[in-house]
Amino acid sequence: MATRPGRRLRSFPNPRPARDYRIHMRIPEFTCLCPKTGQPDFATLELDYVPDRACVELKSLKLYIWSYRDQGAFHEDVTNRILDDLVQAVAPRFMRLTARFYVRGGIFTTVTAEHRQPGWSAPPGVHLDPIAAAPSVGS
């Protein structure tokens, strides 16, 4: 096998550091093990962040996520641990990680953790009005 899981997250320079913009990633194949039973847990991770000087490199993120496959972890802990590692790797202005775990014992669990740089706040959103219906011809 040419690639192996790894815990080293790599980054690259943000190509537009003067602009606040959101990067969204959906990672549908996260797995770890229940620390109590050893049975597999499955989740879809959703990562949203506003980069500062660096962006996370996707191949290293894939290998990092893969590294949890044989690790026992509570949902709350693993979500916060992944967020902490990503924040350490790229020091974003803002980052949110949402982990949507599949059913275990009849319960779906979603854990959301966030990081904000001190003093950073989101710019106001853009709200566009719907296009008004054009008047009909001849009216």
Q: Residue ranges per domain, the chain?
A: 14-116
pTM above 0.85, yes or no: yes
- Rounded to whole angstroms, the Cα distance separating 79 from 109 reads 11
Q: What is the pLDDT of residue 137?
A: 61
How confident is the model over 10-69, as pLDDT tens digits?
A: 999 999 999 999 999 999 999 999 999 999 999 999 999 999 999 999 999 999 999 999
- The fold for domain 14-116 equals GTP Cyclohydrolase I, domain 2 (3.30.1130)
- Rounded to whole angstroms, the Cα distance separating 96 from 94 reads 7
- CB environment 27-64: b (16+ within 10 A), e (fewer): beebebbeeeeeeebebebbbbbbbbebbbbeebbebb
Establish whether 32 is a catalytic residue. Answer: no
Marked catalytic residue, from 34, 48, 52, 85: 34
